[in-house]
Structure 1
Amino acid sequence: MAKTIVVKQVGSPIRRPQVQRATLIGLGLNKMHKTRELEDTPSVRGMVRSIPHLVEIIEERDN
């Protein structure tokens, strides 16, 4: 029973540091308003926490 989170890209990577762009790509996001359902792990949470101005957590699910 894995927990998942739904993450949505709300900010543009234009004029952002390369590290932040790479974090978005690592999360599987590359276009505005795109959503991804990701496994809720500490590494994913850390990636989301490192770019809070570009993404938001829409939903947390218990599967």
Structure 2
Amino acid sequence: MANAKPKSLKVTLVKSVFGQLKSHRATVRGLGLRKIRDSAVVADTPEIRGMLRASGHMLKVEEAG
């Protein structure tokens, strides 16, 4: 199991960050998203899961291959 590939998630911004809390805007930016319909593939870690939970109302999350 030492060669197990870490899981990854595809995150897409579906709602504008305009009018959101400053911390939520920073979280979205930390995920590498800038504009609506921007997508990023991120590792599935507890830290990322927390970021997704905080700003989940603006994001679409899918499992990436």
Question: RMSD between aligned alpha carbons?
Answer: 1.1
Give the TM-score normalised by the residue count of structure 1: 0.89
Give the TM-score normalised by the residue count of structure 2: 0.86
Larger radius of gyration: 2
Q: Identity rate of aligned residues, in percent?
A: 34
Tell me which of the two structures has the higher relative contact order, counting C-alpha pairs closer than 8 angstroms and 6 or more residues apart: 1
Take 1:61 and 1:34, find their aligned partners in 2: how far apart are those partners?
Answer: 15
Take 2:6 and 2:64, find their aligned partners in 1: how far apart are those partners?
Answer: 9
Point out where structure 1 has 5 or more consecutive residues left out of the alignment: none
Query: Which 4+ stretches in 1 moved above 3 angstroms?
Result: none
